Amino acid sequence: MKLGGARPLNPGRWLGVPMLMCMGATILFAAPLRVWGLQLPEPVFAMVPAFAWAMIRPSILAPFAILVLGLFLDIFWGGPTGLWGLSLLVAYAMVLILRNAMTGQSRPMMWAWFAGITGVAMVAAFLFTMLDSLAMPSLLAVFWQFLVTALLFPFAHRLVDRFEDADVRFR
Amino acid sequence: MPFREGPLGDLKVPLTWTAAVALIVAAVIAVAFLLADRRETLQEQAYGVTRQTVDTVAKPVSGAIAAPGRWTGLGLDYVRSYFFTASENRRLKAELAEMRQWRDRALALQDQNDRYKSLLGLRTDPPIPMASARVVSDSRGPFANTRLADAGSERGIAVGNPALNERGLVGRVVGVSRGASRILLLTDIASRTPVMIDRTNARAILTGDGGPNPKLEYLRGVDPIQQGDRVVTSGDGGVVPRGLPVGAAVKGLDGRWRVVLFADQAAIDYVRILLFKDFSQLANQKELEAKVLPPVTTEDPQSSILSTPPAAAPKPATPTPATPPAVAPPKPAPPAKPAASGAPR
């Protein structure tokens, strides 16, 4: 059997496991805890695979996995169905378009890219919410969620590092 | 035989383009979901079976995850109360002395209030039954502010029921399943609650925006509000009972009036859900929606308003009591079209 650089990834490992981990982290951070009157932050953990999967390789399954993750977020958080699915897909598409420019850059630069893409997802969610609810969400609340989500880059970096070289056709 | 070793093994699928098509298909599905969503209507049917199923599954999972945090909180409370018993006792004694004065005043006002009600023949609201529930999960983002409580339809909870903690109104129930109910917080962007300023009775709509302090919109009246005014539910529209404490008015940095919620002053770990039936639940919707217009025939103005009163008889010498002049009885109006039984009341 000759596959050259093609060593297809196991979807269960590079899509399934991160997806389940994101769901678990989301459920964990939804615990109604207060420490000295402060609540837990609520980052969008699904941004990690949305960024990393597009960096690793283009895929047919990944957009649907992101859609499932987004729908889970909407239903679990009680938001409008489809809001996070669509916003995460916008971010995923953006990374897919820009991945040639991003690949091989330094870690701080990649962190900046991740923050930028997170910003795109938040702006998309902001606009979709405005269209859906005909009301403007609080900019400060959006900013806080953006900030705590942007801090998740090390997880995205680890996921990219783990699978980036697995299929060299897409390097 | 594996696919790669077969005759189609060398077939090269343009994966980038296929991935782009998959992305577009997924986006179209997401848009369809978003357009079909009717979350903001707060109707029972809009909640859907999928959400109910997820809530039913999430309740025990989130409850188990939240349990260690709750136990830690209880343990810390125990330790705190052990070490600070003396100061706590002093504080409670002072509070009790103050409360005794308030109790006497409340009893006097209750007595006075009962007498006024009996004098006026006022029809008061019946007491509202309630169900207690523990919050097991909590979403706090800018686009969704909801909580999942561990009591559902088996306790009589229905969509639209208001939820309170010990300080004030928390939100309304937007979805119910067996064993769990989803509460839309006052801070959610889809939340609209009719409120009034306690001091001036000025009406407003409390509108959530995903931040901690919801806005007061459609505030009416001249100088209706001041910093620190108490905001309570107005009961307008019949969706929540009148007089539930909501919060205190503050001027936001953006120059708009906002409300610091009383419910946020304590942890929202337990809630009381009022099993309140709003007016729209009590009314017969089919009768309200019946398109039967009232009859257009009216009485003849010639015989009722425009007719001249009969010539007054010469006044007798003796004084008569001041009674209104007799008016000629109007001609009977033509028989109105009988209204159907389903006419609006």
pLDDT of residue B24: 94
pLDDT of residue A125: 95
- Please tell me the distance from the alpha carbon of residue B193 to that of residue B200, in angstroms, as a whole number: 18
Residue B222 lies in a domain: yes
Residue B264 lies in a domain: yes
Q: Is the pLDDT of residue A90 over 80?
A: yes
**Quick one: CA dihedral B198, B203, B208, B209, positive or negative?**
negative
Which among A31, A62, A135 has CB closest to B66? A31
Q: Mean pLDDT, to the nearest integer, of A108-133?
A: 93
- Cα of B243 to nearest chain A Cα, Å: 27
Residue B16 lies in a domain: no
B36 in A contact zone (CB under 8 Å):
yes
Q: What is the ipTM score, two decimals?
A: 0.85
- Percent of chain B past pLDDT 70, that is, above it, reads 73
A96 in B contact zone (CB under 8 Å):
yes
Q: Is the pLDDT of residue A108 over 80?
A: yes
For the stretch B263-308, pLDDT in tens is 887 777 889 999 887 665 556 667 767 666 666 666 666 666 666 5
Q: Mean pLDDT, to the nearest integer, of A48-74?
A: 92
For the stretch A20-50, pLDDT in tens is 999 999 999 988 887 777 778 889 999 999 9
Q: Mean pLDDT, to the nearest integer, of B225-248?
A: 90
Residues constituting chain B: 345
Summary mean pLDDT of chain B: 80
Contact residues, chain A, for B73 at CB < 8 Å: 33-34
Provide the pLDDT confidence category of residue A64 given band limits of 50, 70 and 90. Answer: very high
B56 in A contact zone (CB under 8 Å):
no
Beta strands B192-197 and B230-233 are antiparallel
Inter-chain touch B211–A33, beta carbons under 8 Å: no
Provide the pLDDT confidence category of residue B25 given band limits of 50, 70 and 90. Answer: very high
Task: Return the number of other C-beta atoms located less than 10 Å from residue B146's C-beta.
Answer: 26
End-to-end, the C-alpha distance of chain A in Å comes to 22
For the stretch B27-63, pLDDT in tens is 999 999 888 877 766 666 667 788 888 888 888 888 8
Q: What is the 3-state secondary structure (H, E, C) of chain A?
A: CCCCCCCCCCHHHHHHHHHHHHHHHHHHHCCCCEECCEECCCCCCCHHHHHHHHHHCCCCHHHHHHHHHHHHHHHHHCCCCCHHHHHHHHHHHHHHHHHHHHCCCCHHHHHHHHHHHHHHHHHHHHHHHHHHHCCCCCHHHHHHHHHHHHCCHHHHHHHHHHHHHHCHHHC
End-to-end, the C-alpha distance of chain B in Å comes to 76
* Number of domains chain B is built from: 1
B22 in A contact zone (CB under 8 Å):
yes
Inter-chain touch B142–A145, beta carbons under 8 Å: yes
Which domain covers residue B150, as residue numbers?
130-278
Q: How many CB pairs under 8 A join A and B?
A: 178
Residue B48 lies in a domain: no
Greater confidence (B127 vs B96) lies with: B96
Q: Mean pLDDT, to the nearest integer, of B194-199?
A: 92
pLDDT of residue B6: 57
* Closest A-chain CA to B57: A76
Residue B176 lies in a domain: yes
**Cβ-contact A156, A48 below 8 angstroms:** yes
Q: What is the DSSP letter of B258?
A: E
pLDDT of residue B332: 45
pLDDT of residue B105: 94
- Please tell me the distance from the alpha carbon of residue B172 to that of residue B15, in angstroms, as a whole number: 48
B11 in A contact zone (CB under 8 Å):
no
B87 in A contact zone (CB under 8 Å):
no
Contact residues, chain A, for B18 at CB < 8 Å: 60
pLDDT of residue A53: 92
Residue B338 lies in a domain: no
Greater confidence (B64 vs A114) lies with: A114
pLDDT of residue B298: 67
Inter-chain touch B144–A63, beta carbons under 8 Å: no
Q: Is the pLDDT of residue B123 over 80?
A: no
Contact residues, chain A, for B77 at CB < 8 Å: none
Which among B26, B142, B182 has CB closest to A63? B26
Axis-axis angle for helices B44-83, A17-29 (nearest 10): 60
* Closest B-chain CA to A126: B143
Q: Is the pLDDT of residue A70 over 90?
A: yes
Greater confidence (A100 vs B231) lies with: B231
Task: Return the number of other C-beta atoms located less than 10 Å from residue A46's C-beta.
Answer: 29
For the stretch B296-315, pLDDT in tens is 666 666 666 666 555 554 54
- Percent of chain A past pLDDT 90, that is, above it, reads 60
pLDDT of residue B14: 74
- Please tell me the distance from the alpha carbon of residue A72 to that of residue B335, in angstroms, as a whole number: 63
pLDDT of residue B8: 54
A140 in B contact zone (CB under 8 Å):
yes
Q: Is the pLDDT of residue A5 over 70?
A: no
Interface of B with A in 198-227 (CB under 8 A): 207, 209-212
pLDDT of residue B40: 63
Query: Coil, helix or strand for B252?
Result: coil
> Which of A2, A7, A33 is the best residue to mutate to test the B interface, defined by the most B CB atoms within 10 Å of its own CB?
A33
Contact residues, chain A, for B190 at CB < 8 Å: 133, 135
Give the CATH number for residue B220. Answer: 2.40.10.340
Residue B67 lies in a domain: no
Residue B29 lies in a domain: no
Q: Is the pLDDT of residue B341 over 50?
A: no
CA distances (Å), B260 to each of A33, A167, A170, B91, B195, in order? Answer: 20, 54, 53, 26, 14
Greater confidence (B70 vs B247) lies with: B247
Greater confidence (B239 vs A71) lies with: A71
